[in-house]
């Protein structure tokens, strides 16, 4: 048999390596900006066109590179930070040129201009698909400017998988925001085409947060600080009353590197326990500093996931740090004292009794849903179920016998399933999955027909987005209007909600839109059209949830509407909506062998 194993050509090997490092324009932005920071830049400018698909340019005033280093930085396996294997476990930098540049150059048309501070002339390199086309001296500013054009021009399959300009721009802005937060002492500027989106002066972290996310953050930041021999934690958390329905404004940094960690997020959320509205997420920007020997940053190709050698220690310190910050600002019991400092301070300031404060705190933390369970919308006391009109009569069972349900063919089980008699058995319906299917098809039809029916909001609300989310909202405005949302520009990254989809239980347009966008961004199937993904997100956000108590009439209408759907058997996510328990199957349970 002939030999079949061969070395890959350099061009193909470079493209494979690029696939691991450069997944989308935002990946290239991250690598180029990190290189600029490791070069000692005090000012970094990012310019993008068409979400980075057409052009990415990063300009810095860092140390620059010599002619030799500039050429070497485009070679595979070239690096400035590793000389021996042990260096892998002592990294504190992001990565000064090398490796990432080679990957980016393999799938783009790249131009680099760079100059050392003590040289009169710099170096210009033009590279296309890893091939150096031009290398020449050039007059340029101290530092480095790298232009990346037509990303994935030579890998059409990869380019076809890129999303819309707005989606790609959102990812670019996410990377920009993370690095701007990690390095508040560095000036950052972002241009989207000819528009200046951000112009961030160097300063304190608190100032950087406000300049990135808006002035409304001035009143909600709580400083957080805790230090042990193992780890030091600093940063800010947001006050509970400012928590939002959407995620995305939660940031962890380990040794100034952004990471994702569900484990640490759980620690923060446990510190906020009892203080947040239901399904809300607090803002936080938290920095962890510890010896690199205690962490492994190479768990994930993008280095956004890391491992600690003592995760329990980090979890406990994180939870204690956040809890202590909330306690100091009279938002939670202090860790160091047995008394509730929040209760004491309120008694002193308001002159209220402990009982009054307790009742007020319980009401605020219990949420609107629990209040509505005590009193219906008309504020009349809840009527016993056995006396409600058109509801099943519950016959009290004899001892050790189940209750007998009479005079109705529809009822709830565990406030989750609806049982409906059929001609030859029983239909057992998942109320949440069923209502999600009904709403999904309703919203799909509305967007196809562009009806745009809307319910006017009595008291318009303002809603402020991050720059990335704002770009996404703007692109989806036709679909949102077709669903019934009415949004008017109201300042930078801010909209006024004047109308919302009619016929939904949700009464707050802001909560509905925030929740819908959260569902939209967290969907795993990105191959669906935007309209279908939006319809699915709104249906998931506004459908009847498991645990909701339904009237008999509501259940009957829900069953009828489900059976009129084009695809009644499954929810939009593929979950079964009902199970038909036929008479033969029921009888089989009583047959004797």
What per-residue confidence (pLDDT) applies to 495? Answer: 94
Confidence band for 253, pLDDT divided at 50, 70 and 90: very high
Query: Among residues of the chain, what percentage have pLDDT more than 70?
Result: 78
Going by pLDDT thresholds of 50, 70 and 90, the confidence category of residue 15 is low
Q: Cβ distance 50 to 149 under 8 Å?
A: no
pLDDT-derived band of residue 493, with 50, 70 and 90 as boundaries? confident
Which domains are delineated in the chain? 10-203 (3.30.565.10), 207-328 (3.30.230.10), 341-374 (no CATH), 430-578 (3.30.1370.100)
| Mean pLDDT for the stretch of residues 470-495 | 90
| Three state DSSP letters for 216-268 | HHHHCEEEEEEECCCCEEEEEEECHHHCECCCCCEEEEECCEEECCHHHHHHH
DSSP character at residue 296: E
| Contact (CB, 8 A) for 175 and 26 | yes
Rounded to two decimals, the pTM is 0.67
Q: How confident is the model at residue 53 (pLDDT cuts 50, 70, 90)?
A: very high
380-431 per-position pLDDT tens digit: 333 333 323 333 333 343 443 323 333 477 899 999 999 988 878 888 999 9
Strand order in the sheet with 486-489: 455-464, 494-500, 486-489
Which has the closest alpha carbon to 211: 186, 245, 192? 186
Alpha helices in 459-529 (DSSP H): 467-475, 477-483, 509-521
Q: Which of 233, 230, 235 is nearest to 295 (CA)?
A: 230
pLDDT in tens, 69-105: 999 988 876 555 544 555 555 555 554 445 688 889 9
444-471 pLDDT per residue, tens = 999 888 877 899 988 899 998 888 788 8
Average pLDDT over residues 264-290: 92
The mean pLDDT of 198-210, rounded to a whole number, is 95
């Amino acid at each position: 048999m002939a030999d079949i194993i061969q070395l890959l050509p350099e061009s193909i090997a470079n493209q494979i390596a690029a696939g691991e490092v450069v997944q989308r324009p935002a990946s290239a932005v991250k690598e180029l900006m990190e290189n600029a920071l490791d070069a000692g830049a005090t000012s970094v400018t990012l310019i993008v066109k068409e979400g980075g698909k057409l052009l990415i340019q990063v300009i810095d005033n860092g140390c620059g590179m010599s002619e030799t280093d500039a050429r070497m930085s485009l070679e595979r396996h070239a690096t400035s930070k590793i000389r021996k294997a042990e260096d892998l476990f002592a990294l504190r930098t992001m990565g000064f040129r090398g490796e990432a540049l080679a990957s980016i150059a393999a799938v783009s048309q790249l131009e680099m201009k760079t100059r050392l501070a003590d040289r009169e002339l710099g170096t210009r390199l033009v590279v296309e698909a890893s091939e150096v086309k031009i290398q020449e001296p050039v007059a340029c500013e101290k530092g480095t400017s790298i232009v990346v054009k037509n990303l994935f021009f030579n890998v059409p399959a990869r380019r076809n998988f890129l999303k819309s300009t707005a989606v790609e721009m959102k990812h670019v802005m996410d990377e920009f925001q993370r690095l701007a937060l990690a390095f508040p002492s560095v000036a950052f500027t972002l241009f989207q085409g000819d528009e200046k989106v951000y112009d961030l002066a160097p300063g304190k972290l608190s100032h950087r947060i406000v300049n990135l996310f808006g002035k409304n953050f001035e009143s909600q930041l709580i400083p957080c600080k805790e230090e042990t021999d193992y780890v030091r934690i600093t940063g800010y958390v947001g006050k509970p009353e400012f928590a939002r329905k959407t995620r995305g404004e939660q940031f962890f940094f380990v040794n100034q590197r952004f990471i994702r960690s569900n484990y640490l997020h759980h620690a923060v959320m446990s510190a906020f326990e009892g203080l947040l509205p239901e399904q809300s997420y607090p803002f936080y920007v938290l920095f962890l500093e510890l010896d690199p020997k205690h962490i492994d940053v190479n768990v994930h190709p993008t280095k956004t996931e890391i491992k600690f050698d003592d995760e329990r220690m980090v979890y406990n310190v994180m939870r204690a740090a956040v809890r202590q910050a909330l306690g100091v600002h009279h938002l939670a019991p202090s860790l160091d004292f047995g008394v509730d400092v929040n209760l004491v301070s309120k008694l002193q300031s308001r002159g209220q009794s402990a009982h009054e404060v307790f009742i007020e705190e319980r009401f605020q933390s219990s949420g609107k849903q629990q209040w509505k369970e005590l009193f219906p919308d008309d504020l009349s006391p809840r009527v016993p179920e056995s006396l409600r009109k058109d509801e099943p009569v519950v016959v009290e069972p004899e001892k050790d016998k189940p209750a007998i349900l009479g005079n109705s063919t529809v009822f709830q089980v565990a406030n989750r399933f609806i049982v409906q008699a059929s001609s030859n058995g029983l239909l057992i319906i998942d109320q949440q999955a069923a209502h999600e299917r009904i709403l999904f098809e309703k919203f799909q039809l509305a967007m196809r027909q562009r009806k745009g029916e809307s319910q006017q909001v009595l008291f318009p609300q303002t809603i402020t987005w991050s720059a990335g989310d704002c770009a996404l909202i703007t692109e989806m405005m036709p679909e949102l209007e077709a669903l019934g949302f009415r949004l008017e520009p109201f300042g930078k990254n801010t909209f006024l909600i004047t109308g919302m989809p009619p016929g939904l239980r949700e009464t707050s347009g802001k909560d509905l839109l925030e929740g819908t966008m959260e569902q939209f961004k967290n969907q795993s199937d990105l191959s669906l059209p935007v309209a279908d993904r939006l319809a699915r997100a709104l249906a998931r956000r506004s459908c009847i949830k498991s645990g909701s108590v339904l009237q008999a009439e509501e259940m009957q209408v829900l069953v009828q509407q489900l059976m009129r759907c084009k695809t009644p058997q499954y929810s939009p996510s593929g979950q079964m909506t009902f199970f038909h328990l036929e008479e033969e199957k029921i009888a089989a349970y009583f047959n004797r062998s």
